[in-house]
Amino acid sequence: MSNSRDSRSPVSPLPPGSGAAVVDTGFIPVRAKLLEVAAFLDRVERHEVADDFRCEALREAAQVLVDGRPERARRILEKLSDPTSEPDAISSGKAALGAWRPVQK
């Protein structure tokens, strides 16, 4: 069995000083990704496709980022997931789309 905890609790002690390294090396790349999200949301409005189900799913998922609760990555992935449990009768195509669309499943 795994010793999993929530995302704030490591299973074993972290290396000394690791916190500073996480910010020093991680901040700039993540800053860039956050700007990509912001620019994408502006872009789909400018091109009048903001009502695409994937864009709607992205906006809803983004709210998890600032709700102050842990396990943000897990919860965003779950928000974008198919919540049903039965296998589908037929395939809707080879490729997944990244967000769940009930009417097509």
Partner 1 sequence: MRYIEPHGHMVSRTTDDYQAMVAAGCAAVCEPAFWAGYDRGSVEGFRDYFRQLTEYEPARAAKFLLPHYSWLCLNPKESEDLKLAADVLAMIPEFLGKKNVLGIGEIGLNRNTRNELKVLELHVDLAVRHDQLILVHTPHLEDKKKGTQLIVDLLRSHRGVKPGRVIIDHVEEHTIRQVLDQGYWAGITLYPDSKSSPPRAVDMLEICGRDRIWLNSACDWGVSDPLAVPKTALEMRRRGYDAEFVDQVLYQNPLRFLAQCPRFVLSQPAG
**Interacting residues with partner 1 between 9 and 48 (CB under 8 A):** 9-12, 14-18, 21-22, 25-26
**Minimal distance in Å, beta carbon 23 to partner 1?**
11
For 35, 48, 72, 84, the CA distances from 76, given in Å and listed in that order, are 18, 25, 6, 17
Per the CB < 8 A criterion, the answer to whether 98 and 56 are in contact is no
Indicate whether 69 belongs to the interface with partner 1 (CB under 8 A): no
Does 63 participate in binding partner 1 (rule CB under 8 A)? no
Residue 98 within binding range of partner 1, rule CB under 8 A: yes
Q: How far apart are CA 82 and CA 99, in angstroms?
A: 8
Tell me the closest approach of the beta carbon of residue 54 to partner 1, in angstroms: 10
